[in-house]
Amino acid sequence: MPRLLLVDASAMGGPSATGHFLATRFDSWPAELRCQLWADAGEPTLTSSAGAVTGDALQGAIEDFAPELVFARPDARSAALLDVLDALDLRVPLVVEVVDDWIARLEVEQPDAVERWADRLRSLIERSDACFAISPELAATLKDRYGTPFDVISNVVRLADWDGLAGPPESGPISFRFSGQLAYRKGGSTVAAIALGVQGATNVDAELVVRSAGAGHDATYLAGLDGLSRIRIEPYADTEADYRAYLAGAGANVVAFNFDSATRGYLAGSFANRIPELLAAGRPILAVGPPDLASIRFLQRSGAAHVVTSPDAVELHRAISLLASDGEYRAELAAAAKETATAFEWESTVPAFHERLRAIAHGETSEPIHGPRSLVRSSPQTPTTSLPSPADLDRLRALRNAHAGETCVVVGNGPSLNDTPLELLDDEVVFASNAIFLLFDEVDWRPTYYASVDSRFLPDRHDDVDQLLRTHPQMTGFFPTMLELHDGSGDVVPVRQLLEDQPNRVLFLSQHRKPAGTHTGAFSLDAVGGLIQPSTVTITLMQLAAHMGFARIVLIGCDTSYSIPDTVEISGPKAEGHDEGMLLTSTADDDVNHFRPDYFGAGRAWHHPKVDHMIRHYEAAKTVLDLQGVEVINATVGGALEVFPRMSLADALG
């Protein structure tokens, strides 16, 4: 192995997340072959197996060490360290790693320094022999900015270090635990909001424990937290073992990011160093932060976290109360955390990373590193197609609790609509879906909100949907950014390729239900963070209604009873739990499952209905909505949906 000089402002093995990160990444590198140049309060220090050196002896100590490779993680704290490197003029290979967009942070905090630092970072990147970024998103941003490809590598964990750690006590308050910096551009304000949420959650027995360095910005935030009831403040863990025990003993661990625009720009593509450690702890995670951060998106998809994408006090109170009161939910999240952590196992990444550094030092060819498979797979490489746009997110935010306390009607498309007094909807807020426009000749009202999430319907009827939104500009239509095909290919279709970009078209992030088969992770109350893929589009409409704050949801046309006519052509992989194929195509206008026989008539494509899945998803939705105090009434005429209490439409709206 080459003699390695690490250059990072944070000390390897220190209490910060970066300190843990560096130790996990490099502690297996032979101690006599590595040293670190770091900074304590701005004073450069060289630490090696021979001890620590500062001041005038620093340059000579580095020259005596004779590094064969420099690994630098520059940021705005690194000026003095880079000055030392420049003075040494080492003619050895250089590797650069970038973990967040600190240039964007400087644009807010030190605009006069941006140009100087941007030029300095560009110079480092241009003369480097390899570059690393902490996430695919950040790698793409940096490649666009500097024209240099970046490998992807995040933090890793040795799972064996976490085996056998004691979990939380069986009695006493549920302990929400945070460990990290309470910085202005990281998570300080959001941790303070969580503290207020815990203090106000008097319906459950909960506490918040905060471990931080206690200096700088931390001291400011800790002063504000000091004295609050149900909040405990502790110093950082003394040892790695203590740190692991602290996380493993949590009722739920906390990930927090601030919501200001500067933080969002700075951390948009970053991937928090603590996330693999929190996953390895095998405890549920409460993650609070903007939905456009890579860390939040990853946790949303992991199934290991309850994610809140708003600093709204009501949303935080709901999340804290749910996690504190529902042991089954915590167990499901904890199991998902353990499962997800396996993708960050030390052995799957670090040996290959070390081999790549060795090859670079000796001028040999080596394969790029692509980081943990789950991180690369679940982080979108093309945000422009797989993520909602800022405008979409702004529209969704504007609708949050816009109808607080109101009643709405969610219209299914079953044949019972033909026996329903639809004129009662003339003055109501109506949610509808798919081919509801076939009913317009018979009614005066139009849906206020419309949605379609079906990967057979939208490709087949996208022209009709475009026309619907074009001719009804007062209607808002909601669609997932991507449609997952169910033909066994695993392919996805960007909805932006199907539907016109219209002012009333809103795209949202579609998420898988995790853990699968449970009520948790089955129903989202926050459309900004994403909606759960449904077993029926009615569930999507109900999620939107909950996001908008409706207190009562009245269902009609939700017959939840299907049959497949003999005239239908069946193909594709078998539907889960059924003998028939997933893909259906009608050959005649004999649709008995909807309010018109030509709804899925001749030539129309549709999916196997899987009614049993629908019922289970309705049951899961009821569990979540009951906890939120949202009443759901089934005013469908007949049908097979018995999950919700029944009432006539007139009585439900009366």
What is the per-residue pLDDT across 277-312, written as a single tens digit (0 to 9) for each? 999 999 999 999 998 898 998 888 787 888 888 888
Residue 488 pLDDT grade (very low, low, confident, very high; cuts 50, 70, 90) = low
Torsion of Cα atoms, 459 then 465 then 470 then 472, to 10°: -160
Residue 374 pLDDT grade (very low, low, confident, very high; cuts 50, 70, 90) = very low
Contact predicate 176/206, CB 8 Å: yes
Contact predicate 204/322, CB 8 Å: no
Which of 602 and 491 is assigned the larger pLDDT? 602
> Six-digit token pair at 465?
């949907």
Which of 504 and 99 is assigned the larger pLDDT? 504
pLDDT given for residue 558 in this prediction: 96
**595-628 burial, b for 16+ CB within 10 Å, e for fewer?**
bbbbbbbeebbbbbbbbebbbbbbebbbbbbebe
Which of 216 and 103 is assigned the larger pLDDT? 103
Residue 371 pLDDT grade (very low, low, confident, very high; cuts 50, 70, 90) = low
pLDDT given for residue 361 in this prediction: 93
In this predicted structure, the answer to whether residue 518 has a pLDDT above a threshold of 70 is no
**Which residues fall within 8 angstroms of residue 608, CB to CB, at 6 or more apart?**
564, 570, 575, 578, 580, 581, 582, 583, 584
Residue 383 pLDDT grade (very low, low, confident, very high; cuts 50, 70, 90) = very low
Helices (H), ranges, 342-484: 350-361, 373-378, 383-386, 390-399, 457-471
According to DSSP, residue 161 is labeled: G
Mean pLDDT of 62-82: 90
pLDDT given for residue 377 in this prediction: 38
In this predicted structure, the answer to whether residue 382 has a pLDDT above a threshold of 50 is no
pLDDT given for residue 288 in this prediction: 95
User: Cα 421 from chain centroid?
Assistant: 42
pLDDT given for residue 489 in this prediction: 59
Strands (E), 434-533: 449-451, 476-480, 482-484, 492-494, 505-508, 510-511, 531-532
CA count, 13 A, side-chain hemisphere, 8: 26
Among the residue ranges 25-39, 240-254, 599-613, the one predicted with the least confidence is 599-613
pLDDT given for residue 520 in this prediction: 55
| Domains, the chain, ordered by start | 4-153+349-378 (3.40.50), 159-344 (3.40.50.2000), 383-653 (3.90.1480)
Mean pLDDT of 466-491: 86
Residue found under tokens 């009501």: 314
Report CA-CA distances (Å) from 37 to 27, 79, 371, 474.
15, 12, 25, 61
In degrees, rounded to 5, the angle at the alpha carbon of residue 90 between the alpha carbons of residues 88 and 95 is 125
Q: Are strands 407-411 and 482-484 parallel, antiparallel or unpaired?
A: unpaired
- Amino acid identity, residue 535? S
Mean pLDDT of the chain: 88
Which tens digit of pLDDT belongs to each residue from 253-269? 999 999 988 888 888 88
Neighbours of 446 (CB within 10 A): 17
Most confident option among 237-241, 389-393, 399-403, 562-566: 399-403
H or E segment and range at residue 202: none
Q: Are strands 174-179 and 252-256 parallel, antiparallel or unpaired?
A: parallel
Residue 487 pLDDT grade (very low, low, confident, very high; cuts 50, 70, 90) = low
Q: Is 612 helix (H, G, I), strand (E, B) or coil?
A: helix
Contact predicate 292/320, CB 8 Å: no
Residue 251 pLDDT grade (very low, low, confident, very high; cuts 50, 70, 90) = very high
Contact predicate 269/137, CB 8 Å: yes
Mean pLDDT of 633-646: 96
Distance between CA atoms of 300 and 182, rounded to whole angstroms? 23
User: Cα 276 from chain centroid?
Assistant: 14
Closest by CA to 217, choosing from 253, 176, 258, is 258
In this predicted structure, the answer to whether residue 653 has a pLDDT above a threshold of 90 is yes
In this predicted structure, the answer to whether residue 483 has a pLDDT above a threshold of 50 is yes
Residue 588 pLDDT grade (very low, low, confident, very high; cuts 50, 70, 90) = confident
In this predicted structure, the answer to whether residue 392 has a pLDDT above a threshold of 60 is yes
> Six-digit token pair at 507?
């795209």
**What share of residues in the chain are helix, strand, coil (percent, to 5)?**
40, 20, 40
pLDDT given for residue 402 in this prediction: 96
Among the residue ranges 37-41, 186-190, 631-635, the one predicted with the least confidence is 37-41
Residue 368 pLDDT grade (very low, low, confident, very high; cuts 50, 70, 90) = low
Distance between CA atoms of 479 and 313, rounded to whole angstroms? 28
Among the residue ranges 63-72, 186-195, 509-518, 635-644, the one predicted with the least confidence is 509-518
Distance between CA atoms of 69 and 4, rounded to whole angstroms? 5
Instruction: Please confirm whether the linkage preceding 390 is cis (ω < 30° from 0).
Output: no
pLDDT given for residue 491 in this prediction: 65
Distance between CA atoms of 612 and 244, rounded to whole angstroms? 42
Strands (E), 293-424: 305-308, 407-411
Mean pLDDT of 384-409: 87
* Partner residues linked to 607 by β-bridges: 583
Tell me the backbone φ, ψ of residue 287, rounded to 5 degrees. -110, 125
